[in-house]
Amino acid sequence: MCPESGNRPRLRRLDLLRIFLRSFLIQASWNYQGMLNLGFLFAIMPGLDRLYDERKDRVKAAIRHAGFFNTHPYMASYALGATLAAEEEAIGKGDEKAFEEVIRLKRSLCGPLGSLGDHIVWGRWRPMCAVIGVFGAALWGGWGPLIFLVLYNTLHLGIRYRGIRVSYRDRLNFIDELSGPVYRMLPVIGERAGSFIMGGLVVTFVGFYGSFTLPTRLAFLAGLLVTSYLLRTIKRFQASHGALFVVWLSVTLFGASHWSR
């Protein structure tokens, strides 16, 4: 039986930590029918175990939350916390319609969180970290991949943990955080920093190998033309992707001409 309104259980920090750890497997059972539904259910189960005393109530709740769910895997942490907070309030009301509202809330978060995560993480942060990793590899060799992993996962882990904690604590007020200055500035920082560091990589490349040879100049010109075309025709193509392509093509052709001497 569900707990009474006046004695509602609340999740503990250990419960939130277990949900955080389970969220890393949210894509492990991805499927065409429900997308991330089974991963979401797996991640949220420690919370349901805390909120419901009787097994039949937990089973009923699990069946409700086994429905379709799909969003950005990192931003799903906000949906996990907000859903558990809404589930807790629905238990207090003891109304079947309240539980239906929980599911509607969860599904309504899919699109906005997915769009925001794709734009910030895939579109800006990951390319910027990749550029920094390439720059690090050019300067310090094997440290480049480590620099990429540390920098990239700083934001990744922060989103996963803070998303669960803030959305559970503040309920839907977590939207204020997503529309705040940090999330507004991240795309700008990612784009500008990536371009700036890519310029530094080109300067470093020239410093190591001397002036550009004719094949290298032609490679840069070809790369710029291809990048310009892709930027005009493909919406999701980023300038940092094109910059990486230009440098890769130039290094490849320069290396071929250099070692063939």
Q: Tens digits of per-residue pLDDT, 53-74? A: 889 989 999 999 999 999 999 9
Per-residue pLDDT of 28-38, as tens digits, reads 999 998 899 99
Mean pLDDT of 160-165: 91
pTM of the model: 0.72
Please list, in sequence order, all residues whose beta carbon lies within 8 angstroms of the beta carbon of residue 136, skipping any fewer than 6 positions away.
143, 144, 146, 147, 148
Q: Regarding predicted confidence, which is higher, 162 or 235? A: 162
Residue-range domain boundaries for the chain: 5-110, 211-261
Instruction: Please tell me the distance from the alpha carbon of residue 200 to that of residue 138, in angstroms, as a whole number.
Output: 11
Half-sphere exposure of 130 (CA within 13 A, CB side): 18
Per-residue pLDDT of 171-217, as tens digits, reads 777 777 776 666 666 666 655 665 556 555 565 555 555 555 666 56
Instruction: Please tell me the distance from the alpha carbon of residue 145 to that of residue 96, in angstroms, as a whole number.
Output: 51
pLDDT of residue 120: 84
Instruction: Please tell me the distance from the alpha carbon of residue 175 to that of residue 178, in angstroms, as a whole number.
Output: 5
| Per-position DSSP letters for 27-53, written without gaps between them | TTT-BTTTBTHHHHHHHHHHHHHHH-S
Share of the chain above pLDDT 90, in %: 29
Instruction: Give residue for tokens 């290094």.
Output: 251
| Chain centroid offset of residue 199 CA | 26
SS3 176: helix
Q: Regarding predicted confidence, which is higher, 1 or 135? A: 135
Share of the chain above pLDDT 70, in %: 64
